[in-house]
Structure 1
C-alpha cells in the first residue's frame, strides 16, 4: 500500500490549512486534489460544476484517484469534500477524517477574512440549508471511509497537525 496520507472531510473543515501545517512540521510533499483537477481542466472547480455538472466533476475525481493510487507515494493529499466517494480510496493511503460539526464549519468559513471568496469557491455550499443536508448525508460515509478520525473543533491547525503526525507518521 502507498504510504500516502489522505485528508478527507466536509468542505471548509480545514483540510488545506491543516495540510500546510503538517508540511511545516514534517517535511513531505503535499498536493490538493482540487488543485490537480483545476490544473488538468484549466478552469476553476466552480466553472467545472457550472459548465459540466457534478457527474462530470466526480468522473475527473475518480481519474485523479486512479493516478494517485498508481503513481503517487509518500505524499500528503488534501481532498475535496466529495473525494471520499472514489472507488479506490483505501488503496491510495491512510484515510484521515478531519471532523467538526456543521455549525463549527459554517462559522469558520464566515469568520475567515476572505469569507465571500471562500463561499464562492464552494459551489455546494451556496445554499446553507442544502449544505447542511449534504453534511448530514455525508457524515456517516466519512466515518465509514476513515482509518483515523481527528476531531478538529476548538483546536489550532498546529495542534491538529501534531496529532496527525503522531498518529499516522510516527506511530
Structure 2
C-alpha cells in the first residue's frame, strides 16, 4: 500500500475542507480527484455529467485512480463521493471514511454562506429524496472499504485531524 491518505465519504461531508486543513497542519500535499478530473476535461463535474453522462465520469475516476497508483506518494487525496468504487482504491493508500448523518450534511450545505454554489456543485442534491436514497446505498459500501471511520458530526476540525493522524504510520 502507498503512503497516501485517501479521504472518502458522501458529497458535502467536508472531505475537501478536512484535506486542506490536514495538509496545512501536517505539511503534506493535498489533491482532490474531482479537481483533477475537471482540470483534465476543462469543464465542471456537473457539465461532464450533463454532456457525457455518469458512465463517462466513472471512467475518468478510474483513470485518475490509476494515475494516483502509479505516480502519487505521501499525499492526502480527497475523493468524489463515488470514487470508492474504483477497483484499486486500497492500493492508493490508507482509506479514511469521513462520516456524518445525511441531515447534518444537508444542513451543512444548505446553511453555508455560499449555499447556492455548494448545492450547485453537487447536482444530485437538487432532489434531496434521491440524494438521501443514494446516501443510504453508499453508507455500508463506504464502511466496507474504509481502514478508519471518523465521525465528523459535532467535532472540531482539530479533533478530526487528530483522529486521522493518530493511525498513520510514522516515518
- TM-score normalised to the size of structure 1? 0.97
Q: Who is 1:30 aligned against?
A: 30
Distance 2:4 2:71 in 1: 11
Distance 2:30 2:97 in 1: 16
- Structure 1, unmatched stretches of 5+, are none
Q: Who is 2:21 aligned against?
A: 21
SS of the residue aligned with 1:10?
coil
Q: Who is 2:10 aligned against?
A: 10
Distance 2:126 2:57 in 1: 17
Distance 2:24 2:99 in 1: 21
Q: CA deviation at 1:170?
A: 4.7
Task: Give the 4+ runs in structure 1 shifted more than 3 A.
Answer: none
Q: CA deviation at 1:157?
A: 1.9
Tell me if structure 2 keeps the 8 A contact 1:17–1:157.
Answer: no
Q: CA deviation at 1:61?
A: 0.2
Q: CA deviation at 1:158?
A: 2.3
Question: Is 1:161 aligned to 2:164, yes or no?
Answer: no
SS of the residue aligned with 1:168?
coil
SS of the residue aligned with 1:159?
helix
Question: Is 1:87 aligned to 2:87, yes or no?
Answer: yes
Distance 2:74 2:161 in 1: 16
Distance 1:168 1:140 in 2: 23
Distance 1:49 1:94 in 2: 28
Q: CA deviation at 1:24?
A: 1.8
Distance 1:93 1:7 in 2: 10
- Aligned-CA RMSD value: 1.1
Q: CA deviation at 1:163?
A: 1.5
Q: How many residues align?
A: 171
- TM-score normalised to the size of structure 2? 0.97
Q: Who is 2:126 aligned against?
A: 126
- Structure 2, unmatched stretches of 5+, are none
SS of the residue aligned with 1:66?
helix
CA distances 1:33-79 after superposition (whole Å, capped 9, x unpaired):
00000000000001001101111000000000001011110100000
Distance 1:148 1:170 in 2: 16
